[in-house]
Structure 1
């Protein structure tokens, strides 16, 4: 992890991975460490994606398969229903302002909301 790194700044700016900082779960046992570390990064002006990556490098964690996480390119946000499927763990957040368009709202309800309803109310 720290190969060829001589100082903290070198480690922080090293291109050693990627982390989506929009959505992640922090176990209660790690919350104090996370809060302290994020405060340090915030005060130093470190971009949140880098800060999250460095946190993950310091703790044991599980990375879900790429097929279960979808980050939709900004240019394709209106096509979110194409990317969405019921086995996803995470779908990149959609802004509520997109729901002003009636056709977008209908596709959102028939794909995302319907699937949530089925998953929550279906008893195995």
Structure 2
């Protein structure tokens, strides 16, 4: 994606849509989105048959990012597109979206998808997630509607997640550093699916931060990937997920 398409990460979800357009689906099992300042512990177990997201729809009543052009106004544009379109693909995608919302209990019998899109609530922090090839066409079609409307990453992914069965990561709440960014070296763990953010720029010079990265991260990777260490815990396929699982 070029900088205009990415727009400071607002539309990072469009990356997977572009990958889908390259038509790899016949020989790939799925697609990962990973922010460049995240660490993905690849030994952690994922159910590759369904969508995986670190925290899922945890912040279901959060209004962050909704005010403004890339929030509620973008949601209104997406709804209007669905109402005005004569494109069979868009009509089918929007119906699949509504069916999914209804299946997972987000719509009352007398409600339509509009009530979910225009509620102004719900976000999903989305610096890492996985889409299986079985869902890639639906994902790409729905996200294209959201992208063209200008809907922000965390809001677009949240609405998609509400409409599909998905797995959530173990210890998902500990995968984001929030205000503890300076403490990444003590909060990184082999038991996490991923950790965000650890900015690569801080390791450019041979300073203490680079030493810490080698000691805390690279050593764990070396022990597990090359020395066969199994000193970590993983989430099993049958373990409980946060909603929609």
TM-score under structure 2 normalisation? Answer: 0.45
Is 1:70 aligned to residue 175 of structure 2?
yes
How many angstroms apart in 1 are the aligned matches of 2:197 and 2:130? 15
CA contact (8 A) 2:175 2:194 kept: yes
Specify the alignment match of 1:82 in structure 2.
186
> Gaps (5+ residues) in structure 1?
none
Change (3 A) 1:7 1:97: same
Is 1:31 aligned to residue 136 of structure 2?
yes
> Gaps (5+ residues) in structure 2?
1-105, 231-245
| One of 55, 58, 80 as aligned partner of 2:163 | 58
How many angstroms apart in 2 are the aligned matches of 1:35 and 1:78? 36
Larger relative contact order (CA 8 Å, sep ≥ 6): 2
Instruction: Decide which structure has greater strand share.
Output: 2
Q: CA deviation at 1:35?
A: 1.2
Number of residue pairs the alignment of both structures matches:
123
Specify the alignment match of 1:11 in structure 2.
116
Q: CA deviation at 1:93?
A: 3.6
Is 1:100 aligned to residue 204 of structure 2?
yes
TM-score under structure 1 normalisation? Answer: 0.83
Q: CA deviation at 1:9?
A: 4.2
Specify the alignment match of 1:48 in structure 2.
153
How many angstroms apart in 1 are the aligned matches of 2:169 and 2:121? 18
Runs of at least 4 residues off by over 6 Å: none
Specify the alignment match of 2:69 in structure 1.
none
The Cα RMSD (Å) is 2.4
CA contact (8 A) 1:78 1:104 kept: no
Q: CA deviation at 1:18?
A: 3.8
How many angstroms apart in 1 are the aligned matches of 2:173 and 2:214? 20
Q: CA deviation at 1:122?
A: 3.1
CA contact (8 A) 1:21 1:48 kept: yes
Is 1:109 aligned to residue 207 of structure 2?
no
